[in-house]
Chain A
Amino acid sequence: MYELQQVDKHFPGVHALKAVDFKIGRGEIVGLVGENGAGKSTLMKVIYGAYQPDGGTVTIDGTTVRFQNPRQAMDHGIGMVFQEQSLITNLTVMENIFLGFEQQFVRWGVIDWKAMAAAARAQLAKVKLDIDPSTITAQLSFAQRQLVELAKVLTLEERVDGDLVILLDEPTSVLAREEVELLFKLVRDLTKRASFIFVSHRMDEVLELSDRIYVMKDGEVVDVVEHDQAEVDAIQRKMVGRDIDKEYYREQKQEDYDRGQVLVSFDKVSHTGKFSDISFDLHAGEVLCLVGTEGSGREAVLRTVYGLDTPTSGTVTIKGDEITNFNAQSGVAHGVGYVPRERKVEGIVNGMNVFENMTLSQMQNYSSNGVLRVGDERKLAKDWINRLGIKTPHENKDCAGLSGGNQQKVVLAKWRSGGSDIILLDHPTRGLDIGAKEDVYEMVREMSADGVGIILVADTLEEAIGLSHTILVLKDGEFQKRFDGMPGDKPTLFDLVHHMI
């Protein structure tokens, strides 16, 4: 009934969807799995109208359609239940359900609240949620909100002729086990009314619920498995399988680290709701990689090392000092440098030029009594532009005009030139092309050789395995397993995935 044929989507520098075929029949539940960056969210956005495909066709019951925006997709019966819940918490449940569609209740220019409440109750009954529709949404539990969201999407049933397709993006990520079971039962009941596309990191859930599973990798659908033939192992192999080039990750340059010198030490550190009971030591020259799915607590651990988050219990020691005051200033003072994922937002200041960005964290070293020594700043910038091969016409260039890879180098130069010897890399190669990625790998090896300790959250598992000395696998905020990864004795993708999902 709903079908994508040979759908393509390009972004600058990325081929996000490569000739994807996808179809869903009436009353079906279709699962969608893949690693981060495999193209799942792009595909979903194409389906619900947030992105327009560059090539291929989208058909509903054989008719070709093209959605300019999500609203048009909704008019054709395609609704989305968002992972980041999209309810407005200061409005009532019924206002949320009919947000943007209040016109049907308007009499003489005012809203007939009784009619809206009755209609809302009917929608809530579909999802078996027995609450007063005039409740303020903020008072509901997370699971209840999820159901309200589902009820909101189900209003399409009355508004649209034809079949419904509802996308569920990670609907179970914050639910307890019994809530998940209730949701699954509900979804199965609702297949009378709609078809579902189910996206989750939890492989067992996808297997349990879906009639058919699409496996994505690198923007392609690499396999379609029927419910009866589905096997966790086989699917996982399909999700990650690719030959790793040792040369690519500079494994020949990976040296042993200094086991005697501990830079960062976590002792049973917990942060309520994010991670619990995490212990590890980071040594000089070590690349320690945190591996896990989105929301497994990887980023939260990084932020805690840097001082952006304060843990609720446990001891964090940096270079022998027990940290009691968690803030970025103390992190910087201890020689920690943070290279964030969102370069444009957190990595470089737009509107500031190359040398200004480089000295941002260490202005006290380039000023006397508050007056900057701009000459010294420029000298530093020129020096590091040469050392890291930063492609910029001159050190006065606005950083916003540099390519992603070169921005990344500016951020690294900022920390390295300031003497940071603990570097936190959060998805350092995200959005970079292959050449720029190799530059980053090269820099990681050089830093290790200089005795810098690196904590890495990698963009892909291959990258994590290729680069690291030590891998810690996290799942739902808890430590799962530790792997040593010296060259020649690296864990396989399969070993890791096994503990992640």
Chain B
Amino acid sequence: MSATTSNLEAPAPSRINREVLVKWAPLLVLGVLLLLFPALEWLEDFREGKDHIYLLDSRFFSIRNAARIAIAAAPALMVAIGVTFIILMGSIDLSMEGTVSVCAVLFAFMFLALGGTLASWAWIAIPGALVVGAVMGFLNGLVHVKLQIPSFMASLAMGFVGTGFALLLTGGDRIRIEDELFRSLLTVRWLNFPIMVYVALAMLLLAWFIQSRTTLGRNFYAVGGGEELAKASGLNVSRVRIMGFTLAGVFFAMGALLAVGRIGIAETATGNNFMFVSITAVVVGGTALWGGIGGVWNTLIGVLIVNVINNGMVVIGLPNWIQDATLGLLVITAVVLSTDRKSVSFVK
């Protein structure tokens, strides 16, 4: 066959550079932060006359601090992975705070009612919590797809319902989980890192598998990359969406379990702050808000960036509001970088 390539597509060289930049920018930012904070720390020490060797004697750049960052990041990573799938489809899920609270509280109730220690039938509370998350995600997806409410509104509303429900269940009380076996998530360390970090890594690998090796994962990209086309290829887009929200619910529940494991308390406030952290992490990691581009590894980088900033600012002693402001600016930068403004004519 005589095939001549048409020059219709011919991408300009500058675009390729942009794409490469966008692809690697999150990792670059993380690298810069990892060198920047020890430098700031060194400067501060130097001014106070307490010399230390850059990086080698750093309080920030130490295994002990890395473990601290990993512990803080683990629950957030679970929630952020859940919402990554949704954002890949071009939708958004804002129900995480409510879902995490309900899962945490119901987990605690089940756990205590079934014996209060992992060595008894109380282990059932763990899959139980995941089922609760799945059900909440499923409802969320159902409201979004069947009632045709935009996903941000449907999920935000469902999140509020969840928070209210959690408060109703607890009456505002904190529920303590003191089982040593369950708390070993935090207390037992392998190679300096507590078990919950390895659990989170295992879930990350599972999420990666779902994303790259299952029809569901492929469908997320198809729906996000071109919903019309996905429909025209015979995909059941409504089903994909509902399954996506269900899967996100499971990961939110996983986040709830790790959050409870970390502090040993389940309460309505367990879910607090997950929305800001997870959405920020996904966006900063480079997953595009309109769908189709990105994935769970981007989210890992994003979660690490957010947590490194939080941790680093504490180490060098900057106030809270600077942390939030920095993260906010980072989100805007990330979205600016990842949006090809030539192809977007209206922003609503």
Interface residues of A (CB under 8 A from B): 12-13, 306, 308, 328-329, 331-333, 338, 340, 345-352, 356, 360-361, 363-364, 367, 370-372, 374, 388-389, 391, 400-406, 414, 431-436, 438-439, 442
- Is A403 touching B233 in the complex (CB atoms < 8 A)? no
Chain B residues in 8 Å Cβ range of A356: 218, 221
A332 and B233 in contact, given A346-B226, A352-B225 (Cβ under 8 angstroms): yes
Residue numbers in B under 8 Å from A372 (CB-CB): 213-215, 218
Residue of A nearest to B225 (CB): A349
Q: How far is the CA of A433 from the CA of B11 in the complex (A)?
A: 17
Q: Which of A348, A370, A434 contacts B229 (CB 8 A)?
A: A348
- Bound: A413/B10 CA distance, A: 23
Complex: chain B residue closest to A436, CB-CB: B6
Residue-wise, chain B 220-240 has the 8 Å CB interface mask toward A (1 for contact) of: 011001101111111110000
**Partner among B10, B228, B231, B292 whose Cβ is within 8 Å of the Cβ of A12:** B10
A308 to B10, CA, bound (A): 32
A306 contacts across to B, CB distance below 8 A:
232
* Given known contacts A351-B293, A352-B222, A435-B4, A401 and B230 CB-to-CB distance under 8 angstroms: no
Q: Which residues from B are CB-within-8-Å of A360?
A: 218, 222, 229-230, 233, 235
Asked if A371 and B225 sit within 8 Å, CB to CB, the answer is no
Interface: B131 (CB within 8 A): no
Closest to A331 in B: B234
Contact A433:B6 (CB < 8 A) given known A372-B215, A401-B11: yes
Kindly report which residue of chain B lies nearest to residue A389, judged by CB atoms. Answer: B1
- Determine whether the beta carbon of A361 is less than 8 Å from that of B233: yes
- CB pair A439–B7 under 8 Å, yes or no, is no
Known: A352-B221, A367-B214. A401 touches B231 (CB 8 A): no
**Complex-state Cα separation, A338 to B229, whole angstroms:** 10
Interface range on chain B (Cβ under 8 Å from partner)? 20 to 34
Q: List 21 A-B contacts (CB under 8 A).
A: A12-B8, A328-B232, A329-B235, A340-B232, A346-B228, A351-B225, A351-B292, A352-B225, A360-B229, A363-B219, A371-B214, A372-B215, A389-B1, A401-B11, A403-B6, A403-B7, A403-B8, A403-B9, A405-B6, A433-B6, A439-B1
Cβ-defined contact, A401 with B9, below 8 A: yes
In the bound complex, residues from chain B placing their C-beta under 8 Å from that of A349 are 221-222, 225-226, 229-230, 292
Extra A-B contacts (4), CB below 8 Å, given A346-B229, A403-B5: A345-B226, A349-B229, A356-B221, A434-B4
Residues of B within 8 A of A370 (CB): 214-216
Q: Digit string of B3-33 for contact with A (CB within 8 Å is 1, else 0)?
A: 1111111110000000000000000000000
Nearest Cβ distance between residue A472 and chain B, in whole angstroms?
23
Q: Are B5 and A406 in contact (CB under 8 A)?
A: yes
Chain B residues, CB < 8 A from A348: 229
Complex Cα gap A12–B11 (Å): 11
A-B pairs, 5 with minimum CB distance? A435-B4, A332-B234, A349-B225, A361-B233, A403-B6
Name A350's closest neighbour in chain B (CB-CB): B225
- A13, B1: Cβ atoms closer than 8 Å: no
A433 to B8, CA, bound (A): 9
- Can you name the residue of chain A whose Cβ is closest to the Cβ of B217? A372
Minimum C-beta distance from A233 to chain B (A): 36
B2 within 8 A of A: yes
B-chain residues with CB within 8 Å of residue A338 when the two chains form the complex: 232
Name the residue of chain B whose CB is nearest to the CB of A415. B233
Quick check: B8 and A404 within 8 Å, CB to CB? Answer: yes
Most chain A beta carbons < 10 A, residue from B8, B9, B213, B215: B8
Instruction: Report which B residues bind A (CB closer than 8 A).
Output: 1-11, 213-216, 218-219, 221-222, 225-226, 228-236, 292-293
Residues of B within 8 A of A308 (CB): 232
Contact indicator A333/B11 (Cβ below 8 Å): no
Q: Please measure, in the bound complex, the distance between the C-alpha atom of A442 and the C-alpha atom of B2, giving whole angstroms.
A: 10
| Cβ contact within 8 Å between A367 and B2 | no
- In the complex, what's the smallest C-beta–C-beta distance from A388 to chain B, in angstroms? 8
Please tell me if the beta carbons of B3 and A435 are within 8 angstroms of each other in the complex.
Answer: yes
Pairwise interchain contact A345-B229, C-beta atoms closer than 8 A? yes
CB-nearest residue of chain B relative to A402?
Answer: B9
Query: Contact at A404–B9, with CB atoms within 8 Å?
Result: yes
In the complex, the chain A residue whose C-beta lies closest to that of B288 is A351
Collect the chain A residues with CB atoms within 8 Å of residue B235's CB: 329, 360-361
**A358 vs B230: C-alpha distance in the bound complex, in angstroms?**
12
The complex places the Cα of A400 from the Cα of B215 at a distance, in Å, of: 21
B215 x A405 contact (CB < 8 A): no
Distance in Å: Cβ of A22 to nearest Cβ of chain B: 27
- Chain A residue at smallest Cβ distance from B294: A351
Residues of A within 8 A of B234 (CB): 328-329, 331-333, 361
CB contacts (< 8 Å) of A331 on chain B: these are 234
Shortest CB distance B10–A (Å): 6
Tell me, in angstroms, the Cα distance from A349 to B235 when the chains sit together: 13
- Tell me the minimal C-beta distance from B255 to chain A in angstroms: 23
Residues of A within 8 A of B233 (CB): 328, 332, 360-361, 414
A414 vs B213: C-alpha distance in the bound complex, in angstroms?
19
Q: Distance in Å from the Cβ of A405 to the closest Cβ of chain B?
A: 5
Least Cβ distance of B214 to chain A in Å? 5
* Residue contact A435 to B2, C-beta cutoff 8 Å: yes
- A439/B293 in contact, CB under 8 A: no
Q: Tell me, rounded to whole Å, the shortest Cβ–Cβ distance linking B239 to chain A.
A: 10
Residues in A neighbouring B222, C-beta threshold 8 A: 349, 352, 360
Question: B215 to chain A: which residues have CB within 8 Å?
Answer: 363-364, 367, 370-372
> Are the C-beta atoms of B7 and A13 separated by less than 8 Å?
yes
In Å, the complex CA distance between A438 and B3 comes to 8
- Shortest CB-to-CB span from B264 to chain A, Å, is 36
A361 to B226, CA, bound (A): 13
Is the pair B292, A436 in contact by a Cβ cutoff of 8 Å? Answer: no
Query: Are B2 and A439 within 8 A (Cβ)?
Result: yes
A341 to chain B, nearest CB (A): 12
CA A389 – CA B3 in complex, angstroms? 7
Instruction: List, in ascending order, chain A residues with CB within 8 A of B228's CB.
Output: 345-346
* Min CB gap A108→B, angstroms: 31
- Tell me the complex Cα distance, A271–B222, Å: 30
- Cα(A447)–Cα(B216), bound, Å: 32
Q: A361 contacts which chain B residues (CB < 8 A)? A: 233-235
In the complex the two chains form, what is the Cα distance from A300 to B213 in whole Å?
37
**In the complex, residue of chain A having the shortest beta-carbon distance to the beta carbon of B9:** A403
Chain B contacts for A345, CB-based, 8 A: 226, 228-229
CB <8 Å contact, B9 and A351? no
The residue in chain B whose Cβ has the minimal distance to the Cβ of A361 is B233
Q: CA of A13 to CA of B292 in the docked complex: distance in angstroms? A: 29
Contact A431 B8 (CB under 8 A): yes
Instruction: Give the chain A neighbours of B7 by CB distance below 8 A.
Output: 12-13, 403
**Distance of A403 Cα from B9 Cα, bound (Å):** 6
Known A13-B8, A308-B232, A403-B6; judge A351-B213 contact (CB<8 A): no
- Counting chain A CB atoms within 10 Å of each CB, the highest count among B6, B10, B214 belongs to B6
Partner of B5, one of A371, A388, A405, A442: A405
Residues of A within 8 A of B8 (CB): 12-13, 403-404, 431
Residues on A with beta carbons closer than 8 Å to the beta carbon of B3: 389, 391, 405-406, 435-436, 439
CA distance in complex: A432, B7 (Å): 9
Q: Which residues of B contact A351 (CB under 8 A)?
A: 221, 225, 292-293
